[in-house]
Amino acid sequence: MKYFKWWILDIILTVFLFAVLFLEGLKNLHFEIGNPLISAVAIVGTVPVIYSAIRSVYNKKISIDLLASIALIFSLVQHEWLSAIFINLMLTSARLLLAYNEARARRNLDHLLKLKPKTIKIKTEDGIVEIKYSDVKVGDIVLVDLGERVPVDGTVLSGTASLDESSLTGESIPVNKKAGNKVASSSLVVSGNLMIKTEKAEGDTTLEKIIKMVEKAQIDKPDIHTVADKFATWYLTAIFSITIILFFFTKNVSLVLAVLLVVCADDIAVAMPLTFLTAISFCARKGIIIKGASFLEALRDVKVVFVDKTGTLTKGKLKVERFVSDSKDQTSALKYAGICSELSDHPMSKAIVAFSANLKEKNEKMPDSFNETSGNGVLAIFDKKELVFGKQSFLEMNKVKISEDILSKAKEEEEKGFNVTFLSYDGVYIGYFVIADEVKENIKDSIEKLKLLGVEKIIMLTGDNERVAKRIKEVAGITGYYANLLPAQKLEHIRESLNKKYKVAMVGDGINDAAALSLADVGIAMGAIGYDVAIESADIVLVKDDFSRVPEMIEISKYVMKIAEQDFWIWGFSNLAGLGLVFTGILAPTGASAFNFLTDFLPLINSTRVFQVYLKNRI
């Protein structure tokens, strides 16, 4: 971490600087202190600043430390020892504050590291043995009991349990797991126990990937910090020009030095990253992994959001919206349709199973025969009576007549973007299922919030047909869509929106949308942790599959930038006030340095004042 290896020296130096100022204050009470001590402390405090300035020049960069070092050198040459001490005190304090905030961010990372167990119980041919966490391998059978954390990513082989996944998702409500379900590392077993087959072990688990992403995010330099460095280039040029002109006309070295001491701006270079560092750390603990502060900043300027349909706007799971029938004897047919659907792998069959679940009885008998025709439907026999469900053509092929009136109504449903599956029993038409991919509950509210935050276009990209896309648009409240798209066509629509004055975001599940996530200015993968392609391609990873986090992140970004802009305004006004006091003769160099020392804490305090409270209350 920057400055971190110097923090002990900075503490010692700060103590000495305060001591010298205290003793110099006592000088007015007739307690004399020799100038050699003051000058020695001033010179020693100047060394790290000059070292930093030399490094920036060596790296062909003009940094704020260069201005600070020039002001310090002027102070030393003019024997303005107290001025040098005030500036050094400000710089050491700023470095310590930055080190403290970096250490605090590191504690958030340490919180994640503590979730890694030291030992794991696995099942072997010799029974249950305990091994080191680092020794677990893919394929090992891991046992996790009540109160323990899941140490690996894998699939439940046996057992049932409720897992607290808040360490990953930020969601405190436990999730029930049973055989066949996927589980992620660091989840806490709050009831029950599980036997898990390891699919990802040390170095490759969900927890390990989150830790790596957080580490990378914390060392990523925010663009606004880069802006501060760019600002330093023209700012230094302007200050040098002004001071040269000022000296040319006044020949007053003290006045020039006082101006330099007032406008020394190292505080703004420290204040800028503090807000971002706090935001990224808190977001990480809430299941929002932001790979770099530059992406958090870019969210503020997002005006166009492209969204994938399946798994993003919709649940990716078909649901029977309703069953349309005039038949008085539909119960048996629906019950048998549910039984047959359990034997099918078709997505629509799973929807019918869920719809008819309350009609079936325990130990329900299986059909006498069962035949599924791929892409058409199912024909089964119960007690010598045929049950047929599927497409219209499939029922007609099996000599089931459907009236024109019913077909007309079914076509209307299809034109609205629904799928229709017809059902008959014993040669008689019974009714039809209206089936659709279910839109997530909070989508419409989230879309409205995006619009309120200034997002002008929310556009769905989907390979589905026009009718389906239109229905989703109306239900979700998005502004537009492109349907019948191939993957390459999705990329083309994103590419056309890039390189504008605004930013473009892409939201997807991260599995099929990897290229689109990479192409957009900000790629956001939802609920994709555990999928390597999502983690690699996305700029922001939402551990929990929750679209409401998207407007929330934009809101946080706007707040971050608001704090950063306030820092610049505070710094600018304090500088103007200081210059006014210098040019009116109220502040000499020593007073100017004291003024700089006191006012330079204002942007630093502003960067940390309420942001933590905001994040705790709003995320």
The catalytic site residues sit at 308
Cα–Cα distance measured from residue 259 to residue 267, given in angstroms and rounded to the nearest whole number:
16
Tell me phi and psi for residue 524, to 5 degrees. Answer: -120, 115
- Degrees (nearest 5) of the Cα angle 86, 88, 91? 115
E strand or H helix that includes residue 309 = none
Token pair for residue 505? 């975001």
Strand partners, 162: 176, 191
Those residues with Cβ within 8 angstroms of residue 324's Cβ, 6 or more apart along the chain or in another chain: 409, 410, 431, 432, 434
DSSP for residue 26: H
Cα–Cα distance measured from residue 216 to residue 135, given in angstroms and rounded to the nearest whole number:
26
> In what side-by-side order are the strands of the sheet with 540-542?
288-290, 540-542, 522-526, 503-508, 302-308, 457-461, 480-482
Cα–Cα distance measured from residue 283 to residue 99, given in angstroms and rounded to the nearest whole number:
20
Task: Write a three-state SS string for 526-556.
Answer: ECCCCCHHHHHHCCEEECCCCCCHHHHHHHH
Place of tokens 């799971």: 317
HSE value, Cβ hemisphere, 13 Å, CA-based, for 30:
0
Token pair for residue 584? 């009116």
b/e burial code for range 16-38 (CB count within 10 A of at least 16 → b): bbeebbeebeeeeeeeeeeeeeb
| DSSP H helical ranges for 33-182 | 35-58, 64-77, 81-113, 166-169
Tell me phi and psi for residue 481, to 5 degrees. Answer: -160, 160
